[in-house]
Structure 1
Amino acid sequence: MDISLFAIFLLACCAAGATGAVFKPGAWYKSLEKPWFTPPDWVFPVAWTSIYLLISFAGARLAVIEGNAYAMAFWAAQAALSTLWTPLFFGLRRIKGALLAMGPLWISVAGCTYTAFALDFWAGLAFVPYLIWVTVAAALNVEMWRLNPDVSPLSTD
């Protein structure tokens, strides 16, 4: 694996993850009714750090394989789409609106997982935890919307 490619993919992940530092959950999130399967707060940074390292590894492996166009397109799409969910959910408090970003994000992660497995077993395997995580996140998002129907989005006036 090319360590320079790994560093570039990790930098992209850190840029996407920066939205989590800008739009923190805070008191608003703590006040929401949450589903029974909501992970404890400490799980989120551990999961995201692990996922970013794994998908950077996958990206570096995939980048040098001939015929990688779809895998790289899905990798780029998931990186871009992952930057949308946090500002929608935590920044604008649009629980339902965040689902609009979650759908394409899930598709791009699933697409990257599938195309990665077709090219390189280890790259595909590295994406599996992310696919599981985004599936759980989608279920959490749906349940948060269902459990908190009267939550108003943040006013942007």
Structure 2
Amino acid sequence: MLFVVFLIACGASATTGVMFKPGDWYRSLDKPSWTPPNWAFPVVWTVLYVCIAAAAARIAPLPGSGLAMALFVAQLCYNTLWTPIFFGLHRMKVGLAVIGLLWLLVAATLLAFLRLDIVAGLLFVPYLVWVTIAGALNFEVWRLNRDRMATD
């Protein structure tokens, strides 16, 4: 049952991806050659959200899980925030700051989860890898297009 609750929470976070699609603006930007194909994003995020929800469901009932769950909630908030900032407002530099904080929160959550349950911590490893890739992609897209942005 806890898994379903956390999967719904992750699904709520994922709705920003439906509401703020990349669209023509993103397609028009210069991107690095290593940019993942468009179809990879929903596939990867679906798998990641299942892993994230499973990890949280393992941690939540454990004694001493308060800090770990607070970090879980914080990282999910920053996860939710990035898409409307980057794709909705077209604020690549602000998005870079948000994803930097997200990376720190995901890493802290991973470590807190590892201390309580090794499987839960390991379920967060692919998420940290993906946020690392997304952060690098955010940086490169900003770097390649910063001369085209009026403000940020």
Fold shared, TM-score > 0.5 on shorter chain: yes
**Pick from 65, 69, 73: which aligns with 1:68?**
65
Q: For the residues of structure 2 that align with 1:125 and 1:153, how far apart are their CA atoms?
A: 41
Q: For the residues of structure 1 that align with 2:99 and 2:148, how far apart are their CA atoms?
A: 19
Partner of 1:94: 91
Partner of 2:54: 57
Q: For 1:72-110, what per-residue CA distance to the aligned partner results, in whole angstroms no more than 9, with x for missing partners? A: 011001111111110011000011110121121111100
Partner of 1:22: 19
Partner of 1:106: 103
Partner of 1:78: 75
Q: For the residues of structure 1 that align with 2:55 and 2:77, how far apart are their CA atoms?
A: 16
The gaps in structure 1 that reach 5 residues or longer are none
Q: TM-score, normalization: structure 1?
A: 0.93
Q: Output aligned runs, 1:124-135, within 5 Å.
A: 124-135=121-132
Q: What's the CA shift for 1:36?
A: 1.7
Q: For the residues of structure 1 that align with 2:9 and 2:80, how far apart are their CA atoms?
A: 11
Q: What's the CA shift for 1:150?
A: 2.4
Q: What's the CA shift for 1:153?
A: 6.3
Amino acid across the alignment from 1:141: N
Partner of 2:3: 6
Amino acid across the alignment from 2:44: A
Number of residue equivalences: 151
Amino acid across the alignment from 1:36: S
Aligned-residue Cα RMSD (Å) equals 1.2
Q: TM-score, normalization: structure 2?
A: 0.96
Q: What's the CA shift for 1:20?
A: 0.3
